[in-house]
A and B are shown apart, each in its own frame.
Chain A
């Protein structure tokens, strides 16, 4: 299995509070991604990174920001959480190019009350 960990694995937070999710990889892969998974929607890309300090928006980026200060860490921040951001969040990595296969972390279940 690809060395990807996500923390926390579960979080309950209140509307309006900031939340940061962390993805850590031990594979030294160039690309990292954040997705959200919701019933009936499959996986939707939030943001991705193609190198340290290099990031770009995905399909559903509104309300989210990301940072990548080291190759191994990719942080997803919800500046002011809303109930619509209740979801399961997955981090993924790919070694060489954005169009190639991705390897996924175990996910973080976030509930915003």
Chain B
């Protein structure tokens, strides 16, 4: 069975500071991993995905994530936060085969202060 743990339901940063959102996964097979962003009153938007190619994945809006098998992690980072980055972020995992669907973490709310 697959699962995702997102450390911290809320993360606060100052504008211009590094953003680090943590995601650890559990999967019995090599996983596919995803980060989504949700702005208020909107649906989820795909930020980036890992599908067993390069371990460092670049996404939209300057975000990137690194797949670390030994740590079962897929943390999301951005060098410099913008006010517009304030949103809820979800990590998701799938087992990349058959009818395996996505399992989502509970989300991390990113707060950006001026």
Chain A residues engaging chain B, CB cutoff 8 angstroms:
4, 33, 40-45, 48, 50, 56, 58, 90, 92, 98-107
Contact = CB atoms under 8 A, between A and B. Distances in A.
B101 A42 contact: no
Interface residues of B, number: 25
Interface of B: 9, 32, 34, 36, 41-46, 49, 90, 94-102, 104-107
B95 A99 contact: yes
Contacts of B97: 99
A58 B101 contact: yes
Contacts of B105: 42
Contact of B46 (A43, A58, A101): A101
B24 to A, nearest CB: 14
B106 A41 contact: yes
